[in-house]
A and B are shown apart, each in its own frame.
Chain A
Amino acid sequence: MRELIRCAWRELGRRKRRAAATTAGFALAALILFSVGNLLCFSRQTMSDILYNVGTHIIVSVPATGSEMTSAASGPWPIDSLNEAFYSEPNVVTQLLPRALASELAGLPAVLCATPLMLYRVKDSEKGFLFSIAGFDPKDKIALDNNLCSEKDIIAGTFIRSGDRGVAVVTDAFSITTGITVGSSVKISGISFPVIGIIKPGINPGKADVFLCLDDAVSVINPRLRQPMGDRVNSFLVEVKHGRQMEEAVSQIRGRIPDCLVNTFFCSVSAIRVLGMNEGAVWILLAIVLVGVTLYAMSSQWSSIVERRRDIGILKAIGWSDSEVVWQLGLESVIQSLLGGSIGCGLGFFFLAIFPVPAWISNSFSWNGELAGIVFLVGIVVSLFCGVVAGAVPAFYSARQTPAESIRSK
């Protein structure tokens, strides 16, 4: 093998221009591969970021049946059942479920985390208008973030922190219609809650007008029920591990709570489709580049073999076997592809060092252009693969000819 490598290297040295051109082709391919590979990394990361923001949030509840609501003379049902209700969507009245279910949901394979949530529609006893209350646990930030509200939604004042009690946050719409601002208070069931912040929540599955700590919400809702609700809530906020696992997560949740209502925008489905198209385009581009470079290298190697057809015939005539000829020609291609792949990937790193990722990209997405060594390795391995393919076809063709045929050729 050492002899063949030495011979292949020597042969490349004898055909410097052709070898340089072929190596440059591989280098260009590796550079493109490197760039496209990074683009793919970037695409994957941004996709993950986008999916996190649009498509991994669910509210789980169980709708109450009509008979439960009308026949319940007792139980944790609103006294004013015409106006007040536990709800998950504006017109869906829900049952109460044990709070402990949150940890069971959090344990499902496709679920990242889950937190209990209370959503209750209230009639203002003084002015008679309806509004809604959300009771949540402020420490479960991830589950709350894009499902209900979080600190990022604050437009005035501050958000409720873990451990806060007796305070409220209201939406900007509620603030406008009621005239309640930061510093004033909202009165529910005779209890006044100072408003510490106003939020402008995005399009989240969970909606309410007034936000309280879960225990505060329980304390204002219980007096409005026929019986106290106990350690129960009417819904759960669930964060799925990844947008791609949305349907899997929904299926797992339905497996645990068969009658449940899963409220999500399923933005992830369209997002995955659109982003998948984007990634698909990158893969197609990559495939075109690789096929192009392989054909170029094959053409170059082919020309080299055609030029040397007589030489190959002579070598076979003096005792070189077909396999030795194939190895020799294949090694030439391998050397060129390895060299070209290393140069291309090296140049990729060099350019990335000179032209770092713009701040707007690294600020917008959690990707700063840092590359894993695997990209370099993949670039070289793919380049090598193309080299083997490009070298093997002409080499086998050449080996198939008899020495006499090769020597006779001009």
Chain B
Amino acid sequence: MGKNERTARVILEARGVRKTFPSRSGGEIVALENVDLSIPEGLTTLISGRSGAGKSTLLALLAGLDHPTSGSITFDGNALEKLDNSELARLRREKLGLVFQNFQLLPSWTAAENVEAVLMHSGIDRPARMARVEKILAELGLSGRFDNLPGELSVGQQQRVALARTLVNDPILILADEPTGSVDPQTAQEVIELLMERVRERGTTLLVATHGTFPETLADRQFKLAEGKIDSLCKES
């Protein structure tokens, strides 16, 4: 299947998305303004912008972690604003992989437990679940680290655990928020290679928000976000 065929379907779409937060002075802070975005299936899309441009807010809205003030978001045919919290949770559990800025591992859970958490309520029995967890951790080079707490792992290992957690449910879309923003360049390179390898293997759609640490050359499409608005489409393959 060629790339053009794969891009025929839009897997994620934002229309007129606006997000504001209340300010201390009683007014409002506009984080996103009239964002329109279409993410085709199977491609890697980069959203770049400076810190505070609204990238993390946009990713949180696209993942259904927060609600837009106005506008609509459709993921895999589901209008997120029409789903209740449990349906959103189910969607995230079954179809979405999230890579957070600063990894966001649960500090008191072991590496295996952090990864297992995604599958905990998926209806898979524990032995099968643990088999999947151990397999993905082993694939990411963490065979001997199942029972280590995140604090006992190096930064690179922590990011790999986070990556394992993202990939363990075999998502159709991965949203990555500054996936290499907190690691040294060498580790960043390793993480990017691991992520891209899995994405290519599985044909997973990847949307990366970055302020410049993720190589633009790996992206099929690139948008620029500035002051809460999609400024331009910088690149389209």
Contact = CB atoms under 8 A, between A and B. Distances in A.
Contact of A407 (B90, B100, B118): B100
Given A317-B98, A323-B86, A7 B106 contact: no
B120 A7 contact: yes
Contacts of B121: 3, 319-321, 324
Q: B92, B120, B126 — which one has the most chain A CB atoms within 10 A of its CB?
A: B120
B10 interface: no
Nearest to B67: A402
Contacts of A321: 85-86, 89-90, 121
A11 B106 CA distance: 11
Contacts of B93: 318-320
B116 to A, nearest CB: 10
A315 B98 contact: no
Given A402-B67, A404-B65, A404-B66, A319 B94 contact: yes
B78 interface: no
Interface in B161-198: 165, 169
A251 to B, nearest CB: 60
- Most A CB within 10 A of own CB, among B66, B89, B126: B89
B169 A319 contact: yes
Contacts of B100: 314, 317, 407
A14 interface: yes
A126 interface: no
A322 B86 contact: yes
B117 A318 contact: yes
B60 interface: yes
B63 interface: yes
B85 A314 contact: no
A7 B120 CA distance: 9
Interface in B98-128: 98, 100, 104-108, 113, 117-118, 120-122, 126
Interface string A385-403: 0000000000000000011
Contact of B89 (A11, A314, A322): A322
11 contacts: A3-B120, A15-B108, A310-B104, A315-B106, A317-B104, A318-B93, A319-B94, A321-B90, A322-B89, A402-B67, A403-B60
A231 interface: no
B211 to A, nearest CB: 18
A311 interface: yes
A332 to B, nearest CB: 13
Given A321-B85, A322-B86, A311 B106 contact: yes
A318 B85 contact: no
A319 B85 contact: no
Contacts of A15: 108
Interface in B45-96: 60, 63, 65-67, 85-86, 89-90, 92-94, 96
A321 B67 CA distance: 16
B20 to A, nearest CB: 14
B98 A318 contact: yes
A319 B90 CA distance: 6
B89 A405 contact: no
B106 A314 contact: yes
Interface hub of A15, A322, A323, A404 (most chain B Cβ within 10 A)? A404
Contacts of A121: none
B187 to A, nearest CB: 21
Contact of A317 (B63, B67, B126): B63
A322 B60 CA distance: 17
A402 B86 contact: no
A16 to B, nearest CB: 11
A405 B113 CA distance: 23
A314 B113 CA distance: 13
A314 B90 CA distance: 14
A370 to B, nearest CB: 46
A311 B169 CA distance: 19
A366 B65 CA distance: 65
A15 B108 CA distance: 9
Interface string A133-151: 0000000000000000000
Contacts of A322: 85-86, 89
A55 to B, nearest CB: 61
A316 interface: yes
B66 A402 contact: yes
Nearest to A310: B104
B65 to A, nearest CB: 4
Contacts of B89: 316, 319-322, 324
Contacts of B67: 402
A309 to B, nearest CB: 12
B120 A320 contact: yes
Contacts of B117: 315, 318, 320
Contacts of A14: 108
A318 B104 CA distance: 11
Contact of B60 (A11, A323, A404): A404
A316 B165 CA distance: 13
Given A317-B92, A320-B89, A407 B65 contact: yes
Interface in A1-32: 3, 7, 10-11, 14-15
Nearest to B149: A14
Contacts of B169: 319
Closest 7 A/B residue pairs (Cβ): A319-B93, A404-B66, A321-B89, A404-B65, A321-B86, A403-B65, A404-B60
B66 A405 contact: yes
A404 B32 CA distance: 15
Contacts of B65: 316-317, 402-404, 407
Nearest to B57: A404
Contacts of B96: 319
